[in-house]
Amino acid sequence: MLSVLRNRTYRHLFTAQVVALVGTGLATVALSLLAYDLAGGNASAVLGTALAIKMTAYVAIAPVVGAVADRIPRRALMAAMDLTRAAVALALPFVTEIWQVYILVLLLQAASAAFTPTFQATIPEVLPAERDYTQALSMSRLAYDLESLFSPALAAALLTVVSYTWLFAGTTVGFLASAALVVSAVLPKPRPVERGGGVRDRAAFGTRLFLATPRLRALLALDLAVAAAGAIVFVDTVGVVRDHFHRPAGAVSLALGAYGAGSMLAALLLPRLLRRSGDRAVMLPAAFALPAVLAGVAAVTATAPGGWAWPALLAAWAAIGAACSGVLTPGGRVIRRSAADPDLPAAFAAQFSLSHSCWLLTYPLAGWLAAGLGLPATAAVLGLVALAAAVTAAVVWPARDPARVEHVHADLPPGHPHLAGAHAGGGGWRHGHTFVIDSHHRSWPTGRQHRGAAHG
């Protein structure tokens, strides 16, 4: 897997991702302590509002950035977003009012909503070979999982010698280092986008791409399954550990660590598995595993917290981590296969926005259900959501889903450059190629209008 680091450009970008993630992890801890200082007993409400602002920024801003990303040099865009995040982190220790926290969090997350999809769209162009790109996706998943384990430990160590405000300084250094690494990378020049229209039309294109492409509609459903299972981990772990199992605070980290360990193990195994089985054959079983595990969580939390129950919960959290990784890691491959190179920024931006819409739904659902109905009912309801999402994905993602599709153009005049090699038939001009939604293909061919061919 580490062989992809021999590519200098990818090595710089991956290192930039890692140091930015560490900085973000430090900021998360510091922001929690800052909220406690400003709001005291209302700190959870402040953090909840900050989380809602974060998700709203992700959902609203990412498509707009995807629409204009082709007009701005990607290296300059990513470096500017890193510098913006560094400036916000530097300003956070000096706030004195809660509303100031909200404004700075909005700026911070808006910059992240611009940086992350642009970064994701750049990697498949840096690593065009599918094997290399698959390894890069697994590396990225590992980076996220390691950050979730490493950053809290680093923050705890730093807090033994400095105040929490210095953690924001560490965040600033991380984003500045990320900007320097991005600037030092030589990125491929993006291909021009033929799609016309204003910013609003281009911002909506990514969503239309998802809704018009069967495998991308399935990917959106799979994102909902992951959000349903992940929400119970991220929202309800502290309640499960402290209130049901009556374990100390350190056990919360152990449970979250089990989730991270499962995700990392899956990420390490996925490159070889994907070479042998393909995306659909891996992602759908992983998605169907989620409701099964959540049914087990409902059973565990409905029983007395003794004996086998605690190890069973840790195993369930590890299984959720592995299954979520099995869905999320190949997602980039599905997007790359479903969009033309110039449209990758819009496609990744749409996925970023739509997937976070799923989290925006399941986060409060997990919290409200746990508070009102208890943990077993919460796991059962979220399990039903995950099951419905997995079934939807299996239905809308065709089992035979070739890249090359023969189809008919009834709306293009004879002699159009796109019709080179086409022949008359089916009420128009028939030809075949790798099919994606773009300016010449506004809907997915169905019925007699298409015939799948081998992958190519």
pLDDT of residue 97: 87
Q: Report d(CA 388, CA 221) in Å as an integer.
A: 9
Starting at the edge strand that comes first in sequence, how are the strands of the sheet with 450-452 ordered?
A: 423-425, 428-434, 404-409, 450-452
pLDDT digits (tens, 9 = 90+) for 108-164: 888 888 888 888 888 888 888 888 888 888 888 788 777 766 776 777 777 778 888
Residue 453 confidence (pLDDT): 38
Where does residue 421 fall: left (phi above 0), alpha (psi -120 to 50 degrees), or beta otherwise?
left
Last residue of some domain: 144, 160, 190? 190
Q: What is the pLDDT of residue 451?
A: 46
Write the pLDDT tens digit of every residue in 271-329.
889 888 889 999 999 999 999 999 999 999 998 887 889 999 999 999 999 999 999 99
Same domain, 49 and 184: yes
Contact 148, 264 (CB under 8 A): no
In the block, which residue shows the tokens 């040099």? 73
338 vs 403: CA distance, rounded Å: 8
| pLDDT, tens digit, 9 for 90 and up, residues 326-362 | 999 999 899 888 888 777 887 888 888 888 899 888 8
Q: Which residue has the higher pLDDT, 376 or 149?
A: 376
pLDDT score of 200:
62
Number of domains in the chain: 3
Q: What is the DSSP letter of 428?
A: E
The CATH number of residue 372's host domain is 1.20.1250.20
Residues 375 and 315 in one domain: yes
Higher pLDDT, residue 180 or 26: 180
Residue-wise pLDDT for 157-195, tens only, equals: 777 788 888 888 888 999 999 999 999 988 776 655 555
Do 40 and 153 fall into the same domain? yes
Q: What pLDDT shows up at residue 381?
A: 96
124 and 245 share one domain: no
User: Which pLDDT does position 127 carry in this prediction?
Assistant: 86
Residues 177, 400: Cα–Cα separation, whole Å: 45
Residue 67, pLDDT score: 64
Residue given tokens 């790359």 in the structure block: 336
The share of the chain scoring above pLDDT 70, in percent, equals: 89
The neighbour count for residue 303, using CB atoms within 10 Å, is 13
Highest mean pLDDT among 36-45, 65-74, 217-226, 442-451: 217-226
Between CA 238 and CA 255 the distance in angstroms is 9
Query: Do residues 296 and 388 share a domain?
Result: yes
Asked if residue 206 and residue 153 are part of one domain, the reply reads no
Domain identity same for 177 and 265: no
The pLDDT value given to residue 218: 95
**DSSP 3-state percent helix, strand, coil across the chain (nearest 5):** 80, 5, 20
pLDDT for residue 454: 35
Please provide the distance, in angstroms rounded to a whole number, between the alpha carbons at the two ends of the chain. Answer: 25
Residue by residue, DSSP assigns 22-82 as HHHHHHHHHHHHHHHHHHGGGHHHHHHHHHHHHHHHHHHHHHHHHHHGGGS-HHHHHHHHH
* Residue at which a domain ends, from 190, 214, 240: 190
Residue 78 belongs to domain spanning: 1-190
pLDDT digits (tens, 9 = 90+) for 249-269: 678 778 888 888 898 899 889
Amino acid of residue 125: E
Q: Which of 190, 218, 234 is the last residue of a domain?
A: 190
pLDDT at 48: 65
Parallel, antiparallel or unpaired: strands 404-409 and 423-425 = unpaired
334, 366: one domain: yes
Whether residues 387 and 429 fall in one domain: no
Q: Which pLDDT band, with edges at 50, 70 and 90, does 456 fall under? A: very low
Across 199-311, the runs of DSSP E, i.e. the strands, are none
Least confident of 22-26, 200-204, 256-260, 264-268: 200-204
Q: Are residues 152 and 215 in the same domain?
A: no
pLDDT at 178: 93
Overall average pLDDT of the 37-56 stretch: 73
**Model confidence, pTM:** 0.81
pLDDT for residue 375 is more than 80: yes
pLDDT in the model for residue 219: 95
Asked whether residue 157 falls in the same domain as residue 236, the answer is no
Q: Is 376's pLDDT higher than 90? A: yes
Q: Can you give the pLDDT at residue 82?
A: 93
209 or 217, greater pLDDT: 217
- CA–CA separation, 55 and 10 (whole Å): 28
Is residue 184 domain-shared with residue 233, that is, in the same domain? no
